[in-house]
Amino acid sequence: MELLECRVDSVYDDEIEYTYWIEQQIYNEEFRPTNYKTLYIECEEDTDGWIICRIYYKDLFDFGY
């Protein structure tokens, strides 16, 4: 299994701001969560107002192109 880890601020004004921030952190050219068959996400609160998110992934889909 591979691991991607990021820190998320625990305070947001609204859901759109949160969604945008998460997309900026985890979606990039090397990693797209929807390209994997197996995903496991765990989050824990940090002591300084952040949330640590760990995304474990494996089994890349073979789209055939």
Tokens read off for 18? 């949160």
For the chain, how many residues are written?
A: 65
Q: In this predicted structure, what is the pLDDT of residue 65?
A: 64
Query: In whole angstroms, how far apart are CA 38 and each of 18, 45, 46, 57?
Result: 24, 24, 26, 6
In a domain, 18, yes or no: yes
Range of the domain at 19: 2-60
pLDDT in tens, 9-34: 777 777 777 777 777 777 766 778 88
Would you call 42 helix, strand, or coil by DSSP? strand
Using CA atoms, how far residue 49 sits from 12, 28, 46, in Å, is 11, 25, 6
> Quick check: is 65 in a domain?
no
pLDDT higher than threshold 90 for residue 56 = yes
Q: How many domains does the chain have?
A: 1
